[in-house]
Amino acid sequence: MRPRWIGTLLYVPMLYGLGWLLVQPLGLLTPAIPRDRLDLVGTALALLLLLLSLPLRIQRVWAERRPWRRLGVTAAPALVAQAFLRGLLKAGLLLALVTVVLLTSGQAFWHGSLSAPQLLNGMALLLGVGFAEELLFRGWLWGELELHLGTSPALWGQALVFSLVHTRFNLGPVGAVGLLGGLTMLGLALALQRRADGGVLWGAVGLHGGLVGGWFLLQGGLLDLAPTASAWLAGPGGAHPNPIGGVVGWLGLGALLWVLSKGPQLNTTRRQYNE
């Protein structure tokens, strides 16, 4: 069964719009709440709406009786754990590559200090951002695009949407192109990670969340980036660089894509998991 394009295009914006509307009374009742925290509450409400509505959409539009299994969320516990750890390990290797290059080139200095709140924030980013974005992009969007376009166009389509949503276009032409290319490669790598895991989503969650949470911890206290750190090494973003957009990030992701591309070919709309 093929979904309608209008439903695909409006589904997520409508959820965000509802989350924003639901949080407005809170802002009127407690005007002292900072706007960024209010926006965060709205995003959390939108995520809750996604979790509540997504199974219904998968059942009705995709004609799938087991929506969470189709999305790769539920599988045998051993498969979930193995996939998550594999993704986390790859994130650690990518971040280790960036760290070694920055340290040996004098672009950063090892500080090695983290507070308990920083560790908790890193864990929250790992699990929260990793799960929410992978459910959205490598779960729902990839499957939806496959039903519209087929396997190969959907693979590239979800990566391009992912990169456009996350790219900061105020970094200048070179920085924006670097970040756009790096994020596209990351989107492809995350999809191929899920494919390599037999459709289980948790490897992509570990890889994505590990990169986000790990880089937060590195920047938050483990590393001191030099003020003159090169954007082509540390990545674009000035005081808050994103290594995905730098040369080292590109090389690391390119190597990861090469490894993952050697994995089994799997259509995510026709997969089976071990019980």
- N-terminal to C-terminal alpha carbon distance within the chain: 26
Tell me the CB-side half-sphere exposure of residue 56, using CA atoms within 13 A: 6
Higher pLDDT, 39 or 69: 69
Percent of the chain with pLDDT strictly greater than 70:
95
Cβ(208)–Cβ(190) below 8 Å:
yes
Checking if the pLDDT of 154 tops 80, the result is yes
pLDDT at 79: 96
Q: What are 49-66's pLDDT values in tens digits?
A: 999 999 999 999 999 999
Q: Mean pLDDT for the chain? A: 91
Category of 106 on φ-ψ map: left (φ > 0), alpha (ψ -120 to 50) or beta: left
Q: What are 94-116's pLDDT values in tens digits?
A: 999 999 999 999 999 998 889 99
pTM over 0.75: yes
pLDDT at 263: 66
Checking if the pLDDT of 9 tops 90, the result is yes
- Stretch among 6-10, 22-26, 261-265 having the lowest mean pLDDT: 261-265
Checking if the pLDDT of 270 tops 60, the result is no
Q: What are 219-239's pLDDT values in tens digits?
A: 988 999 988 888 888 999 888
